[in-house]
Every structure is written in structure tokens, then in C-alpha cells.
Chain A
């Protein structure tokens, strides 16, 4: 059931304080346009990477939609995140083609490597691990995607290598 998308208390993270003033232009753009709640939430997430808790009240105030209804919409759709995400999002494809080519082994291996569960962010805020339904490059299955790069025909081992290489690059950049 979709209610699973609401994070449990223990994985709730500290939310950084955010400046909500950039939302003003979104309100301007969608004012008096019916059916614009989802684009508003998408715009908010685009700005912050997630939907900060105080944004709900502000959107409610500006649009006149009840906060509970906005929360209802935000938790219904898989796209919306209520918590900050890592710098790097690792999307492991779990489409049918990837599943029959053992995508579970990829998620398992990356979970072990990062010591987080599917859907969680590492404590250092660097990586978020996500399962996605289908990335659409079925002939390369099993696949994972980081940023705009897809890595195909993986095994548990090669997936871990991909993650380690990225860790290494990030270290060198700092």
C-alpha cells in the first residue's frame, strides 16, 4: 500500500532550515490555476531536492488547500521525498527484465557496501539508495543509474566497484 512511503520515525532525519522565499515565483506562476498542486510540489522538490516540512504550511496558506490534503498528495506519489537526499542517488532498476537477471543481488551488494537499506541515505549525506521500477534499458539488465550514467550487465561485485569508484572520485574532488 502506498502508505509505506511515509518514513517511519526512526529513519526521519534532521531537516536543515531552508529559505522558502524562492517559492514565491512558483505561487505566482500557478496562482488561480486549477489542478496545479502537483506541479507546485514538483517545483518545490526541484528547488530543494525534497519537500521541506515548512513548505507544506506555506503552500496551504498560498493556495487555500488544506495541509492534510497536500500531505496526502505528497505521500501518494513515489516521486515526492519528505527528507533530504544524498549528493549521489543510486537508482537500482527492479523492472521485470532486471528482476529475472537478478537485480536483487545488486541491491543486496550495494546495501552491504553503503550499510544502508533501500530508500535510505548514508549518515554522511553522500549516497541515497533507491529501487526504481524501470529505467527502460532492459537489454542491459541488470542496470543501475547514477546521475545520467547507466551501468549495465552488472553483478553484485561490479556494482560495488561502481560505487567504490564514485566514492574515490568524490574523495579526490574534496
Chain B
């Protein structure tokens, strides 16, 4: 760890840190630094990845570095003052340290950071800090050593890097197709339209290390002879857009962008940010191109692929944020170093947004080939409240559920596909026994149904029919033939949709039917929801032995369905009960039973 004479305090100011109150923490520390009581340097960084302990504050001094968690504005000053006064780590507050054991070491030590190599280490608004950590070293090497375009492409091919947006197509192959096209005008696009609900890998990378993405794009531009790069970013990511624009300006001022990049003749490259306007389908490459052209973001038939005819009908190479972020590292460290991580067909690392009913939710970058159980138990610390692990959803609305029994599945494109789920862009939502799988399938289908652009009949109408069936099942009106109907519709939608949205929309239903068929049967045949989520299927009753007659539930009941006076056993009138669950929540004696 670097040692400096003056201690340095770094506050994590990514979107999630800010949401947890990091801006207020920063203000408190700023006041402390201005008070002159202690001599230290105050700095900002972005997402460190440990969302569950936000706000995070790192202290670097002669001893090394220590990260403190849960540093809300009411706690931070006391901890920092104690740290300075005793010159020791404040007991119980450190989550990770370079010179001592800390509570969350397992979360850090299980990770391999390649795409996120600088996230949490640099101030994303300072190009110098990025340069100190290898930013723009790869493009400098390529241009100075006059590396051939095909050699750059071959390096990416040899590294085994595959599209991190979810498609898993070999990146080098994509570049090769675009390179071989002889058209004079070509484009590079960075797909930052991260739309999966529950996924924030790309946002964190853009906010934390925008230069990694820019450098990746410049290298891609050089490799395929493109002169313009476009970052298509969700408008919902204002901080990412702001930091990207700052980074672009800095890179331009330093000559990494613009006319004759770093003095290289015949290579000029510009990048600008295009804000998306809110349409999940624009993550599909042809829809994304239509959107950049100012049209409705509707996909078109392929071929021709964008490598032949893309933006403005010119050859275009599109890669995802994380893919671009990996590129400079591969050039700097060589293809074999990257390919050393992973499995036979899936090389390198993958970033996941670990969320849901998990103790340690956050952003993790793990080598391919790690098992799902290892991610959940070793890094994630297990399930919240030590409940039972039920399933994990990979790939968002296009993906599927992998049940706990298959927790030994390793994370690589082929193994995950074999379960019926997809690797996706990196959303990993963990579910426990209190999640109803039919409700979850309904949630995803509602999303895809809403986001369908409407072009293909099966996607437009089929998803709607499937959703209606799921709604019926969760309302207790399921029919015996429903499961078969769902399977038929799913099959038709998959086979008759033009783009990835329709082709994958039935996945959540298909995987839950495959692994949790008994839950569908319970809903349809027994009119019960085993996870106790689907309200119309629940019955609330009062356990006469436990009821103390405290009258709290009766007072809270919005429909006056509970009868019983003080110190007498209460009862619920089923015909009046609206199943709001209020009595269950307020009862202190666990006397309200739900089935």
C-alpha cells in the first residue's frame, strides 16, 4: 500500500453511496478538515462495491489503508477522531484493511478485479489518478509500437473475451468482421443502456472508472478503423453521464481523443454520449441503432448484421460497457493472463450485481468458473436472517431461475445456459423461501410485456396472454390446463420473435415451471401459495391459545373483520377479511396464523 506522510480520507460517492447518505458524510469530513483540528487530505472515489456497508470511508496513513463501513454522518466523526487519536483501527467498524484482519475480508478476497480494477481506487473525475493506475497505457503502447490492427484483434481473440452484455459472442470475432469491411466510414458503439431491473454493473463502472471504457473504445476504433464512437447511455444514469462527459473532455485535452490521436497520423477518433430515452428493447443492437438515428427503437431483421450495415448503414461494432472495460487490461497484461482465469470456453472474470435476500449485497467481480454457492455463501455471506436459500435469478427478465439444488453450477456461459437461465449482463437476485416463484415469473413477464416494442405478434400478444394466465393463477383462478398453455405459448413466442427480447421473454416462466412445478400445482389445484405471497390465496386465522385479547389487531383491521373484546379470544370473519395482513404484522404474540 502506498504510504504518504499526510493521511488521506476517501469517501465512496457512487450512486448507491450517495443514496445511503455519503454526501452528508463527505460534508462532515470537509468541515472537520477545514476546522484544522487534524491534518489530512480529503478525496472522493466511486463505488467500492460493498453496497451493504455504504457509506464507506477509507483512511490511508502510514500504517496502510483501512475501510470503515456504515459511516453515516452521525457516526463518521467519532470514528475518524478515534482513529487519529489512537493511531489504531477502530474496533468493530473496519470492513477491510491492508494491515489487519477485518470483518468483511471474505467479500474482498474472493474477488478478482479486472474490469473494476480502478473502481473505488481513483477519483473518477481526475484523469491523472486514472493514468497513475495504467489508464491509456494500452493505447499508448499500441500506437508507439505501431502494433498492427490485426494483432490487436488477435490479442482480443486469444484472450477469449466474450460479450459481457449477455450475448456471449466472442468480442475479437465481432471486431474482425467490422475490420474486414472496407467501407471508409465505420462506427464504434458502447452499449450502456443497462435496463435489467436489479442490475447496476455498467453504471458502477461508468461512474467509477469512465476512462477504462473510453480507452477500450479508442482501442476498438483503432483496430477496426473507425473514427467515431458513441456511448448510448440510459438517461436514468445522470451521474454516469456527467462523469463520462468530464472524462471525454479530459481525454480530448490530453490528446487521447480528437484529430491524430497521440500524434498518430491516419488515426483520429471522437467519442460522444447519446442519452437513451427509456426503452428496455434499445439494449438490442439494431433497436439501439434505430434509437441513435432518432427513430422508435424497434429491432430489425439480421442479417445484415451491424458489422456490415449498422449506424447510418455503415459498418458498426457494438460492445457492452464491461466488455470495453476489459480491453485495455488485456492489451496491458496480455491475452494469456486474461485467459488464465475462467473455464475452457468462458475466460476472464464477470461482474455481478448481487442483490435480493442476501446478507452482503453489492458489486462483485469473480473469475468465471466459480460456483453459485461460493458467490452466495463465501462472498455474499449467506441469506438474510439465515432463511433457506431457494433460488437465484440470473439474467434479469431474459434469464431464468436456478434452484438451490443446482447451486453447485459453475458460472460460465455454457453451464448457465444448460440450466435454462442465461448469464445475462450480471444481475444476480437471490431469493429465499418467502419468495413466490409464480409471483416472480409474473413480475418479469409484466416487465417484458410492457417493454415489448410491438413489432412481432407473438411477443406483443403472446406475452400478454401468458401474463393473464399467471395473474389468474396467482388470484386462485388457475385451471388445470394452464401449465400446458403456458408452455405452448412460451414455445411459440421463443420461435417467432425477431429479437432477443421476445426470444427470451418466456425464460422466467419456463425455468420456474421446470424447477418449481410443485408451486404452480399448489396454486392451481390446492389454491395455496406455499411462500405466502399471493394474497387472494391466503387465509388469516387466530390461534386461540396464543391470543391474549390485547385488541391491537382489531383496532388496526381496516375492514372491521376482527371480533373480540379485551382479554377475550379474537376471531376473524373470513367474509369481511380483505387479506391485507395488517393483523399478522401487528400481533406481538404470533397469534395470527396465515396459510
Contacts and interface: CB of A to CB of B under 8 A. Distances in A.
Given A1-B452, A37-B294, A139 B52 contact: yes
Given A35-B294, A96-B396, A137-B15, A4 B443 contact: no
A152 B199 CA distance: 17
A76 interface: yes
A48 interface: no
Nearest to B312: A34
Interface stretch (A8-16, A18-26, A127-135): A127-135
Given A3-B454, A99-B443, A135-B19, A80 B277 contact: yes
Which of under 10, 10 to 19, 20 to 34, or 35 or more describes the interface residues of A?
Answer: 35 or more
Contacts of A138: 16, 51, 198, 200, 353, 355-356, 361
Interface in B270-317: 274-280, 291-297, 312
A36 B19 CA distance: 33
Interface string A140-174: 11010000001010000000000000000000000
Contacts of A42: 235, 275, 277
Interface string B343-368: 00000000001011100011000000
A72 B361 CA distance: 40
B294 A72 contact: no
B246 interface: no
Contacts of B444: 96
Contacts of A99: 197, 440, 443
Interface in B1-40: 15-16, 18-20
Interface string B505-518: 00000000000000
Interface stretch (B135-143, B320-328, B427-435): B427-435
A163 to B, nearest CB: 18
Given A95-B197, A99-B443, A133-B197, A139 B279 contact: no
Nearest to B53: A139
Contacts of A143: 19
Interface in B185-233: 195-200, 203
Contacts, number: 132
B44 interface: no
Contact of A150 (B19, B198, B296, B464): B19
Contacts of A152: 19-20
A17 interface: no
A137 B356 contact: no
A39 B230 CA distance: 14
B236 interface: yes
B412 interface: no
Contacts of A150: 18-19
A80 B454 CA distance: 18
A58 interface: no
B20 A137 contact: yes
A53 interface: no
A97 B429 contact: yes
A97 B451 CA distance: 19
Nearest to B195: A133
Contacts of B82: none
B16 A76 contact: no
Interface string B526-537: 000000000000
Nearest to A138: B355
Interface string B41-85: 000000000011010000000000000000000000000000000
Please indicate which of the listed interface residues B200, B396, B451 has the most CB atoms of chain A within 10 Å of its own CB. Answer: B200
B453 interface: yes
Contact of A96 (B198, B280, B464): B198
B449 interface: yes
A77 B295 CA distance: 10
A173 B389 CA distance: 49
Interface string A86-107: 0000000011110111000000
B460 interface: yes
A169 B436 CA distance: 39
Nearest to B452: A1
Contact of A100 (B200, B357, B452): B357
Contacts of B409: none
A35 B297 CA distance: 12
Contacts of A137: 15-16, 19-20, 51
20 contacts: A1-B460, A2-B453, A35-B292, A38-B291, A76-B453, A77-B276, A77-B277, A80-B277, A96-B355, A100-B429, A100-B435, A101-B357, A136-B203, A138-B51, A138-B356, A139-B16, A139-B54, A139-B362, A150-B18, A150-B19
Interface of B: 15-16, 18-20, 51-52, 54, 195-200, 203, 235-237, 274-280, 291-297, 312, 353, 355-357, 361-362, 393, 396, 427, 429, 431, 435, 440, 443-444, 447, 449-454, 460, 464
